[in-house]
Chain A
């Protein structure tokens, strides 16, 4: 199975990269673009575990390494079909 992890800056933490992309989108003529926030996407192949256990493991990985919880949030999806 595959664990899919989305790491995003916490709301309130300034994202200058997102702002720059938002300004460029506006320059390109895209109307109605609000705030743009940029994050990271991480995929991990998980072997020999049930989905619940995998989720618990991946949450630990996020807390210890994959996200910096001072400034980032994370969201985990477990894809059992993969």
Chain B
């Protein structure tokens, strides 16, 4: 049976079609399908997992993700998440999930003040989540980032680390974590985190842009997040 990813579109989303393309076309042979959900909807319908995509929802007014966090559909997203449904927030989607209180911490202005757009490596670690369960712990994958507000901040970082809620950490091509491999000044090189239950994941890098090796030099390692979710949902490969 096919599994359906709901991709939420807000005014200003611009990675929604990319995410939909991955779950609908790139992974079609893995019994995956996708459906766009409109921010004004109050029901999610029959979806197995949710993707909150990147972009500039509501023009990033006030703060990135601040308005989208209060969009009508977010109540349904909260109910889906608290029932254990897998939710992946990418870039602006990560900011939205933090603003909505579904993930801890916040994304502040990059240390260098610049919009940073480049390929990075991220080490996968932390507790198992639907999107990282199939990726061997300690492995690092290549994805691109494109953001101005990606500096992860958390008021009690020791607790977050202690609970193994850090799932992606910026590293270099050899997997080494250093200040040089930190593109935006995030505390402890954090690129992505999960909630206490592990079913809600947010990250600044764009896995959906690293799913087909034919595109640029990014490779297709981002695909592993979506394949992992499909395997978690129980689709025969």
Contacts and interface: CB of A to CB of B under 8 A. Distances in A.
A68 B112 contact: no
B62 interface: yes
A16 interface: yes
A13 B109 CA distance: 11
A68 B66 contact: yes
A26 interface: no
Interface of B: 62-63, 66, 70, 98-99, 104-106, 108-113, 151, 153-155, 185
Contacts of A70: 98, 104-106, 153-155
Contacts of B108: 9, 13-14, 71
Return the 10 tightest CB-CB contacts between A and B, nearest first.
A70-B106, A71-B106, A16-B113, A16-B111, A71-B153, A68-B106, A68-B63, A16-B109, A71-B108, A20-B113
Interface extent on A, as a size class? 10 to 19
Contacts of B111: 14, 16
A65 interface: yes
B50 to A, nearest CB: 22
B94 to A, nearest CB: 14
Given A14-B185, A71-B153, A65 B70 contact: yes
Interface in A9-24: 9, 13-14, 16-17, 20
Given A65-B62, A70-B154, A71-B108, 9 more contacts: A16-B110, A16-B112, A66-B62, A68-B63, A70-B98, A70-B104, A70-B105, A70-B106, A70-B153
Most interface-central of B66, B99, B108, B109 (chain A CB within 10 A)? B108
Contacts of B66: 65, 68
Contact of B113 (A17, A64, A66): A17
Interface in A63-82: 64-66, 68, 70-71
A71 B99 CA distance: 11
Interface in A46-69: 64-66, 68
Contacts of B99: 68
Contacts of B113: 16-17, 20
